[in-house]
Structure 1
């Protein structure tokens, strides 16, 4: 019976086993960080550790590669810690229990930590080998990637001299990532001013939508509940005053639900307009969001927003851009720039609208941020940017991409797919820190990431090990 101690490549899985003995949920990386430092010191390798427990370990070039550009091998040490129903696993103290089933390595009803422990294991295997040919190696292991990339955000280029970066945090063999989006949130606030006005009102609720990740699924052009609600309110704005409006839940999720409470001057006419317009919306989104529902019920009203605020909010939500704005001209099928009207909520005397923007172009992102800020200004709101992260723009002159494609084709008889993601990656932050570094991202097949069913293809790990070591050998 195979175990993790008998599968190949033996050295890679040895180190994967060792790091999976150390609890390393996001925010609890001191143990794994200290382990990496001790690993380096035991081998007399140069090592740096910062306050967020990022670690850099340096290994000199092998003979004949002294003049080759240094290579940064990069991954993150933290993992998402999820366990299934009935599991008694304690992520603060227990090692990950791993099970081999044919070509699959999985955990016992918990996340495996292949994202991104396998990158750390590859790096340690290279540092621990004396039979490989390679340029100078700088293993960069970052922290808190899964909770906002705080580790890499705190890095400087002070201890990194590499000219090529190999990020091993992709989860599909044969797919090389060559670009990712940057982004930021535009937080728009409106001071809430209310007045006493009692009467018959309506609660309008938009629901039944698919939603999804605002980066990966924005291209599917699914309905945004907040924007649909704004269109409904605009349709009957001459007859209503807002009393309440909420929608969405997270900045990186397309809103599935939104609701408003309004005071209506003519209840029956307002309901009739909403029902008629709902039929139009259902027809409009019959393909992308066939489950769309708009529920309307009568409620009592005691106070409402002042009329100017009601008008400003409807105007703002109607005018803000949403969804796909531009497609990439470099990579077919890639969203270049998008906007997600993510959350509307009332808190601390303010109506707060969170709008999430992404782009693989810094100038395009700036355009949209400015556009939202201008709309806010024109509707008596105030805009403030937050949670910004940089893009990794496609480099048509990348030499490491050309070399990686050639090596992959020579080894496996087929060309890899070049891809980009409309989401943030550590590569984007690293490109800002190290603007002259040529980079690419790849990895072995990982399945059901961030769930208790997470698993790793053993044969894929072996093939990527062959590819990685051959790629290093070709960098001269």
Structure 2
């Protein structure tokens, strides 16, 4: 195994096992069954529901048997992203792991550290015999990356825990205490095609963008390839006549899209004008995003001339939406410096057999702003007679002023490092909001190691940070004997 020499051995052993099992959102049965078999092999109590959520229970160790149960939670699924020129099948191939100094990454694909690290921590805890801990419920949910569907469908009466530790945070030394809620939505344009009468065809590819998590990285003002393509095509529309034969961009609604393409047809005589617009727009984009996305590139290739193209009306409506729909940060907090309150990510543009679909992720820590942005998108759809669909919604996690769990983790961190951890609210969505809403009186925090560039093929994590966070988690569990003595302030 590639990771056999890394510490902690048990954590990296299970993480590598996970990288060999398909676990894209919606395809978690195999990894869920792996966890169930893991529990049965160790005679641990296990529950698996019809949505492939798993709960594995382990009694407390000697001296900890009668303490309140602690829930350790992560999600089984991962975002499967790769570059357009990367040949890789997430359903059949194991991830190709690469160690570079202190970093672990995959070759040309996402790594699945979000949230495979949490699952590995949970399995390693369940597998240990020499770590003091209270009674544990390791909760592994499904479909987190596509609207937290597993968490929303879980029968929370199966959980007995009073304290809840989510391990889906991506910066060491931080304790998350609040997060945004959100929903997914799409606009569907009815597909209308006509015969192509043009003489030539070109594929325009926008690439080289950084992308990233549409919650965690939205404040970095990175370029959105779908929006850039809308601008380029609109600029071209003012210069020459052309038709669209194919279009697409982005792979996941919760990832800022890094690449987009459009296949267009045009008269041979207008090719020089096309080349000029592409060259000019590349310069414009590189200037606008020289800090956040310095490697933006627009590639223009002549391709085989297609038989069918989008109708004029479809092209007009599509360009209207791509150009005018809002994207990125919508509102900032007036109370907390640099905190994003609401955002919209135009994550996916896909040309299907009978429709062209635009898919969005909306996030906000204020529920009314979620609905306000949703209504704006719906208004755009209604204006051009397109179909609007809301596909998923998940709740925000409100800050709890009184938390014994937070107090325990703060004191543990101070004892280990001589300073307090950073207490933060984030704009990303966490399953904590779902469980806080469903389980009365639940005390929650979220933490994790340093993970970088999640939801992109550049995803990686710090090996040493995984080790330190593991040691921090174990020390906190050891200190649970004192949990009921804290005042929760």
**Could you state the TM-score of these two structures normalised by the residue count of structure 2?**
0.72
Q: Deviations over 1:43-80 (max 9, x none)?
A: xxx764434261242647998996x7653333457899
Query: 2:424 aligns to what?
Result: 419
Moved more, 16-25 or 149-158: 16-25
2:383 is the counterpart of 1:378: yes
The answer (yes or no) to whether the contact 2:194–2:308 under 8 Å persists in 1 is: yes
Query: 1:155 aligns to what?
Result: 154
Q: Calculate the aligned-residue CA RMSD, in Å.
A: 5.0
After superposition, the Cα gap between the structure-2 partners of 1:247 and 1:24, relative to the gap in structure 1 and judged at 3 Å, is closer
2:217 is the counterpart of 1:217: yes
Query: By how many angstroms is 1:259 displaced?
Result: 2.3
Query: By how many angstroms is 1:465 displaced?
Result: 1.4
Query: 1:409 aligns to what?
Result: 414
Residue of 30, 35, 42 corresponding to 1:32 = 35
After superposition, the Cα gap between the structure-2 partners of 1:399 and 1:250, relative to the gap in structure 1 and judged at 3 Å, is same
- What is the total number of aligned residue pairs between the two structures? 448
Query: By how many angstroms is 1:165 displaced?
Result: 1.0
The answer (yes or no) to whether the contact 2:209–2:225 under 8 Å persists in 1 is: no
Alpha-carbon distance in structure 2 between the residues aligned to 1:274 and 1:105 = 37
2:296 is the counterpart of 1:287: no
Query: By how many angstroms is 1:219 displaced?
Result: 2.2
- For residues 10-89 of structure 1, the aligned pairs below 5 Å read 26=23, 27=28, 28=30, 29-37=32-40, 39=42, 48-51=47-50, 52=52, 54-57=54-57, 59=59, 70-75=69-74
Query: 1:119 aligns to what?
Result: 122
In structure 2, runs of 5+ residues without a counterpart are 81-90
Query: By how many angstroms is 1:273 displaced?
Result: 6.2
The answer (yes or no) to whether the contact 2:244–2:310 under 8 Å persists in 1 is: yes
After superposition, the Cα gap between the structure-2 partners of 1:189 and 1:264, relative to the gap in structure 1 and judged at 3 Å, is farther
After superposition, the Cα gap between the structure-2 partners of 1:140 and 1:347, relative to the gap in structure 1 and judged at 3 Å, is same
Query: By how many angstroms is 1:250 displaced?
Result: 0.6
In structure 1, runs of 5+ residues without a counterpart are 82-90
After superposition, the Cα gap between the structure-2 partners of 1:270 and 1:77, relative to the gap in structure 1 and judged at 3 Å, is closer
Query: By how many angstroms is 1:470 displaced?
Result: 1.2
Query: 1:244 aligns to what?
Result: 245
Alpha-carbon distance in structure 2 between the residues aligned to 1:447 and 1:290 = 18
- For residues 75-474 of structure 1, the aligned pairs below 5 Å read 75=74, 114-122=117-125, 125=128, 137-144=135-142, 151-170=150-169, 172-196=171-195, 198-199=197-198, 203=202, 205-213=204-212, 214-235=214-235, 237=237, 240=241, 242-251=243-252, 252-261=255-264, 263=266, 267=270, 271=274, 279-294=283-298, 304-328=309-333, 332-434=337-439, 436-443=441-448, 455=463, 458=467, 460-474=469-483
Query: By how many angstroms is 1:174 displaced?
Result: 2.3
Q: Deviations over 1:362-402 (max 9, x none)?
A: 33222222211111111221111225444434445545324
Q: Deviations over 1:123-182 (max 9, x none)?
A: 565xx67976x5xx3413315468756653431111223332122444654221223444
Alpha-carbon distance in structure 1 between the residues aligned to 2:372 and 2:440 = 22
Alpha-carbon distance in structure 2 between the residues aligned to 1:169 and 1:389 = 16
The answer (yes or no) to whether the contact 2:226–2:257 under 8 Å persists in 1 is: no
After superposition, the Cα gap between the structure-2 partners of 1:431 and 1:197, relative to the gap in structure 1 and judged at 3 Å, is same
After superposition, the Cα gap between the structure-2 partners of 1:447 and 1:36, relative to the gap in structure 1 and judged at 3 Å, is farther
Alpha-carbon distance in structure 1 between the residues aligned to 2:298 and 2:450 = 41
After superposition, the Cα gap between the structure-2 partners of 1:414 and 1:50, relative to the gap in structure 1 and judged at 3 Å, is same
Local SS of the residue matching 1:190: strand
Local SS of the residue matching 1:289: coil
Q: Deviations over 1:215-265 (max 9, x none)?
A: 333322122222122223334545535333513131224232332525579
The answer (yes or no) to whether the contact 1:79–1:115 under 8 Å persists in 2 is: no
Alpha-carbon distance in structure 2 between the residues aligned to 1:380 and 1:202 = 29
After superposition, the Cα gap between the structure-2 partners of 1:170 and 1:318, relative to the gap in structure 1 and judged at 3 Å, is closer
Query: By how many angstroms is 1:120 displaced?
Result: 3.3
After superposition, the Cα gap between the structure-2 partners of 1:195 and 1:106, relative to the gap in structure 1 and judged at 3 Å, is closer
Name the larger-Rg structure.
1
Alpha-carbon distance in structure 1 between the residues aligned to 2:319 and 2:104 = 50
The answer (yes or no) to whether the contact 1:245–1:344 under 8 Å persists in 2 is: no
Alpha-carbon distance in structure 2 between the residues aligned to 1:32 and 1:362 = 35
The answer (yes or no) to whether the contact 1:209–1:257 under 8 Å persists in 2 is: no
Query: By how many angstroms is 1:321 displaced?
Result: 0.9
The answer (yes or no) to whether the contact 1:200–1:264 under 8 Å persists in 2 is: yes
Moved more, 455-464 or 443-452: 443-452
